[in-house]
Structures are given as structure tokens and as C-alpha cells.
Amino acid sequence: MQSFRTELENPIVEKDILELERKIALFKEGKIDEEKFRSLRLARGVYGQRQPGVQMIRIKLPYGRVTAPQLRRICKVSEEYSTGRLHITTRQDIQIHHVSLDRTPELWAELEKEDVTLREACGNTVRNVTASELAGIDPKEPFDVTPYADATFRYFLRNPICQEMGRKFKMAFSSSEEDTALTYLHDLGFIPKLREVGGKQVRGFKVLLGGGLGSQPRHADMIAEFLETDQLIPFIEAVLRIFDRYGERSRRNKARMKFLLKDMGLEAFLSLVEKEKTALPFQSFPLDFEDYEKGKTLPNPAFVKADQDLGLDYELWKLTNVLPQKQEGYVAIGVKVPLGDFYLSQARALADLIEKYANKELRFTLRQNFLIRDVREDLIPFFYQELQKIGLGQRGYNTLGDITACPGTDTCNLGIASSTGIAVALEKIILQEYPQYLQNKDLVIKISGCMNACGQHNMAHIGFQGMSMKVGKTVIPALQVLLGGGNLGDGNGRFADKVTKIPSRRGPEALRILLNDFEQNSGELDFLAYYDQQGQLYFYELLKGLADPTKVKEEDRVDWGHEDNYEVAVGVGECAGAVIDLVATLLLEAKEKLDLGQEALEQGRWSDSIYHHYAGLINAAKAVLLGEDISTNSYANIIALFDEHLVTSGKIKLEGTFAEHVYRINQEQPSEQFAKAYAGQALEIFGVIKSYREEEVQV
């Protein structure tokens, strides 16, 4: 592979990109195990897609913010390396598809020229830190959470404690009690609060822990009514350390935080979090929000008049797409992006528009749209005109007609049935037959192509999950219909009930039945109250006729957006990167982590050095246990089993137990003296382990 010059000012980023290039070469030479390479590339935003030989690239955009220069840079990269289509995810990222693996390092280097990263966009890491798109302009917010979300992103990016956890970890910041960031379904969620202390207004967060979607959704536990902002980073770090140490690593489907809390119990988990605080590099981490807020300015461009009278369509668009801001004289404009897909000509025109007439930034949303902020009120007609010119002037932003859907079988390995195809069909039904719902923001439809719930179907009022359905000797595409989910605000929500499974082609008729019944029988009730009043069985009976397999027609065998009969084709999912480690690879990784620890030691990063050495010891211990054919499922389990099978038996001789050495990490403060002592001890133990392994191989 030909190397390239990154020409980056940040040596840490440059080293990271060159390391990816080196690992790609080693993988192609057969010197790195495929599963370990997968783990490495996922942590760098490189995700295998359904089509063989190409990759999906996930671009990490903290709290959904992208500036005009960054958007142009993303366009340049997509044009050169991908297909020119940009996809907005439900975690405020951008994805591009059909990228050659060999070109990913140079693609990454191009993005970093505008401070855009791929690092930890996928894999068993801290994923993109999301936040309400209204943060900073929300009339209902106690304070702007943007600087806190940004600090969280920056603190944990490349942080050694969260590089190879058992599973991914997701965090969200809402701007107000409306909880538009959906904190209750995240591993950690934060809702801003103000409290008067000593006559002063003090900032803090309501904290939620252990939420999640997937096949077994769990509502997060409220664990703190008020956590002062200077405790935000230390608390998150302590939680991540415990999750990294005790989280499941063998059974991928049991490896999320919600399962650890179920097994351990909330009280025991929080007790470990409290004990871990001794080992943290910061007992308090004040965040400088004053400079951020003082640096904010509002644009004041020259007035531009729309070319012509905009008519009724403009008036209807304003009803749903223009949102109030707390800044007097300014509004935000919500732009509906069907299925989250838009293209380079649109993106470049947007970059020019926001740079000249708004505040030079967009915020991507959890519903796969974007928000243009700080638009002066007298420019609203001009913005509508310009958005119409590039095909982004649809009304119905955040209404029932604005359906969220994951890519499903279009590109994802795990997709079972088409989620984008049925979404297009349902939006068409709403537009043509139920236009009144293009103003309804109290009803939400979400669609996922599989149980992983990337489309968040199980927290919607009306949700659909892609499935398959056996009819005689054949299998047809199907949809699980779910009803009754929703966001209740202030960290409270509810998950939808599974009602019935129907052939996918009958999805539009199911929607008609549900909306017609709601209009006829709900009275003054909202959808959730109406659902509770009628009950789950009522809706099962209502839709039962659509589920009848004896009435399957030939067209039911063809999925949305396809011409041929349906075939189940589910690949290996990469959402968490299941790991099948080889002994030699693990020992190599252990040495690499020890080297990183030594580098951090030389740079005076005591806490990072300690954690790198700790992770190196765990990897080395796991390698030997694997060589002995002993299964492990967590870091804590590795430590216990290593003592049981190797130290106590006398196979490996240490002064004291392995646990005594390793667990010093959470018993002492990360001082220079301790960091140096821990590093020396780690290198010594690694030498003993490596020698034992070499002797075993020779035997």
C-alpha cells in the first residue's frame, strides 16, 4: 500500500490515521486476525456494509453540529471517495457509503483538515454524544448544554478507559424538560436543572443511567435529581471504568449497560462508582461556559427580499418548519430531509446559505433532519425560497409525515426487511390521504429494519420493525407493528407494545386502519391516552385480518423497493464488533497498550498511563487463559480466573495475587509516583506472562 502525507497540524490525529493505514496493510498480509481488525476499524468509523468489498464511513459530529466549511469538506470527501449521497443518522452523524477500505486513511485525513473525525464513531466505544438540536436557542432551556456536551465529547475521545469496552456506550443531553434528546433510552442521559444554593443560581443535571432500545428495551433509572456541572466528567469517567471492568465481553447480546445493571443491581453498581472516584484524575472538573457564551454572536446580514409572492404553501410551511428562539428577532428553520438522505448540490448550497445569511452552522437532528439556527425573522421568506430551489422546502418538519427510518436492507448487514421502502410508502399515504397530519407534532412513526432498533421503532407512538414471515414453504418480508410508545418529558418515556406481525406490503393499510380508528374513536384524547383506553387486545383485533397468512398474494412476496421475490439474507452485524481473539494477537495488543502507557508516562499523563498499563495486563492475562482453553466474559472475570488457574496453581509465580497487583488501579490517586510504580510492575508481570506463554508454545 502506498503511504500518503496527512499534512495535519495535530500529531495525535496524524499518528492515529497512519496507524489505521499500517493495520490495513498488516491485515491484507494476513498478520492480523480478521475479527481483531474489525474491532480496530470500527473504532475508527469504518463499518462493513451489506455489499461486499466496500465500507460505510460514519462521520462523528458531536451534538449534530456542523459548520459551513465542515459541510463543504464532507461534500469534497463524499464526491471523491463515495457516491455523493449523505445520510443523516438517528445519532446526529453523517454516513457515506461504498468506500474502498484502502482509501479510508486518506479520506479521514481529508476530513480532519476541518476538524471532523471518524474516531470512535462505531465499535465498542463511547459513541457520538448527542444533544437537543435546540440547545442554545430553546426558549424553555435553563441553560445551554452545548459546552457540556462538547466537553464530554472531547474528554473521552481517545481516552484509554473507553477504547475497547464490551459494548458501545451512548450519552445524550437534552436542552429542557421536554427531553427532546430522549435521555431515558441512553446509557447516560442528562437534563439541565438550576438550583439556588447560597443565594446563587447553580447549574446541574438530572442524571439517568442504564436505558436502551434493541430487542429488550429498558427505561433508564433516575439516579440523581441534581449533579453539579463540575461533577459531570468525573461521574461519567467513574461509570465508564466500572462498565469497562465488569461489563460482559463474551455474549454480545448481553453486553450493554442495561444488562450489567440487571445482573449487578443499581445499588451495587453505584457503590462501585463511588469507590472508583479515588482513582480519578479529577475530583472536580469545572467547565468554562462563560467564555463560550460570551463568544456567541448573532448574524446581521443584509435584507434580501423573496423574488415573488410565495402563496399558501409558504404559509403552511411556516406552521411546522419555523420554530421560535429565545433570542429576540430570530427563529430557527427546521428542514425536513426524507429518510435522512440529501446530496452534494443541496449540501453545498446550504453551506453557502448559512454562511452568508445565518450563523454558519447546522444542527442535525435525531429525526434525521437538520435545523438552521439564528435566522433573522425578516429573512424567513427568502430562506423558504432558497430551500425550495434545492428541493428542501417540504412542510411537515417533526410531524407524523416526517418518518424516521434506518437504512435497513439498503446497506446494513443486519437488515431483515426494507425500512426505507415502507417509509416512502407511508409518507405518500399521509401526504395524499391524511394531509391534516402534516401539522400534527404529537404523533410519531419510526421504522427499523431489524430488532436492533436503530430507527428507534419501539419508542414511537406507531412503530414498525422489519422481520420475515413464513407462509407455507416460502418466507416473505414482514413488519412487526408496535403501538403506544412515546416521550413523556423530564426523563420519562414509555416503550411500545408488540401488537401483531403483518406482511410488509400491508403496512400502508395498517396505517390507514389505525388513523381512521383514531379519528373516529379518540374524541379529545391524544394517541397515547386513546391507546391506553382501548388496550393492546383491541388493536390486535383491529389489525388481525392483515396478519392472516392464508390471504397472502403474490405481490406480498416482494419487499418494498425490490422487483424479485424476497430472500432472507442477514449477514454478521458490526454494531458492536464481536471479538474472537487469537493468543498471539492479544499478546501483541497487550504490548501495544504497554507502549502507549510508557508514552503517556513520558508525557506526564499519569492517569492515562495507569489505564493503558492496566489494559495491557488484562489483554496479556486473557491471551494466556485463551491458550489454556479457559473462557472469560469480563475484565473482572479475567482477573479472577487468571489467579484461580495460573497463580494459585503455581504455573505463574507472582509476588501476591494478580488481582492485588491489577486492582491497585482503583485504590490510589493517579500521582506521578504511583503511575511510575504501576508501570514498572506492569512491565515486570507482562514479562513473566510472556515467558510462560513462550515456554508453553515450545512444549
Q: What is the pLDDT of residues 277-314, one digit of tens each?
A: 999 999 999 998 888 888 899 999 999 999 888 889 99
* pLDDT (tens digit per residue) in 83-101: 999 999 999 999 999 999 9
Please report the pLDDT score of residue 577 as a whole number. Answer: 35
Choose the weakest-confidence range: 24-28, 115-119, 132-136. Answer: 24-28
Which range of residues forms the domain containing residue 198? 130-293
Say whether both 28 and 108 belong to one domain: yes
* pLDDT (tens digit per residue) in 197-206: 888 999 999 9
Say whether both 222 and 283 belong to one domain: yes
Chain-centroid distance of CA 277 in Å reads 26
Is residue 607 scored above 60 in pLDDT?
yes
Is residue 27 scored above 70 in pLDDT?
yes
Is residue 572 scored above 80 in pLDDT?
no
pLDDT band at 578 (very low <50, low <70, confident <90, very high): very low
Say whether both 385 and 494 belong to one domain: no
Q: Where are the beta strands (DSSP E) in 366-521?
A: 370-376, 404-405, 445-448, 462-471, 474-483, 486-489, 492-494, 497-503
Residue 304 lies in a domain: yes
Please report the pLDDT score of residue 153 as a whole number. Answer: 97
Please report the pLDDT score of residue 699 as a whole number. Answer: 59
Say whether both 288 and 312 belong to one domain: no
* pLDDT (tens digit per residue) in 376-402: 999 999 999 999 999 999 999 999 999
Angle between helices 536-543 and 507-521 (to 10 degrees): 130
Residue 512 lies in a domain: yes
pLDDT band at 7 (very low <50, low <70, confident <90, very high): low
Please report the pLDDT score of residue 582 as a whole number. Answer: 63
Q: Which residue, of 244, 265, 293, is where some domain finishes?
A: 293
* pLDDT (tens digit per residue) in 249-267: 888 888 999 999 999 999 9
Residue 84 lies in a domain: yes
Residue 121 lies in a domain: no
The residue behind cell 508525557 is 603
Segment 557-575 shows an average pLDDT of: 69
Residue 333 lies in a domain: yes
CATH, residue 42: 3.90.480.20
Q: Where are the beta strands (DSSP E) in 437-496?
A: 445-448, 462-471, 474-483, 486-489, 492-494
The C-alpha cell that represents 530 in the structure block? 386513546
Residue 650 lies in a domain: yes
Say whether both 538 and 606 belong to one domain: no
Choose the weakest-confidence range: 36-40, 183-187, 457-461. Answer: 36-40
Choose the weakest-confidence range: 136-140, 471-475, 688-692. Answer: 471-475
Count how many domains the chain has. 5
Model's pTM, two decimal places? 0.92
Choose the weakest-confidence range: 28-42, 419-433, 558-572. Answer: 558-572
Residue 180 lies in a domain: yes
Say whether both 107 and 143 belong to one domain: no
The residue behind cell 390471504 is 551
Please report the pLDDT score of residue 698 as a whole number. Answer: 67
Least Cα distance to 61 among 18, 99, 83, 92 occurs for 92
pLDDT band at 3 (very low <50, low <70, confident <90, very high): very low
Backbone phi and psi for residue 629, each to the nearest 5 degrees, phi listed first? 65, 40
Q: Which residue, of 293, 324, 348, is where some domain finishes?
A: 293
The residue behind cell 479457559 is 630
Please report the pLDDT score of residue 697 as a whole number. Answer: 67
Residues of the chain with pLDDT > 70, as a percent, come to 96
Segment 350-371 shows an average pLDDT of: 97
Is residue 405 scored above 60 in pLDDT?
yes
228 touches 203 (CB < 8 A): yes
CATH, residue 451: 3.30.413.10
3-class secondary structure, 438:
helix
Please report the pLDDT score of residue 576 as a whole number. Answer: 39
Least Cα distance to 675 among 584, 612, 616 occurs for 612
Max CA pair span of the chain: 87
The average confidence (pLDDT) of the chain is 92
Say whether both 622 and 670 belong to one domain: yes
Segment 549-561 shows an average pLDDT of: 85
Residue 302 lies in a domain: yes
CATH, residue 594: 1.20.120.330
Say whether both 38 and 60 belong to one domain: yes
Say whether both 381 and 428 belong to one domain: no
How many angstroms separate the CA atoms of 83 and 86, rounded? 9
Please report the pLDDT score of residue 252 as a whole number. Answer: 82
Say whether both 495 and 618 belong to one domain: no
Say whether both 104 and 175 belong to one domain: no
Say whether both 169 and 102 belong to one domain: no
pLDDT band at 654 (very low <50, low <70, confident <90, very high): very high
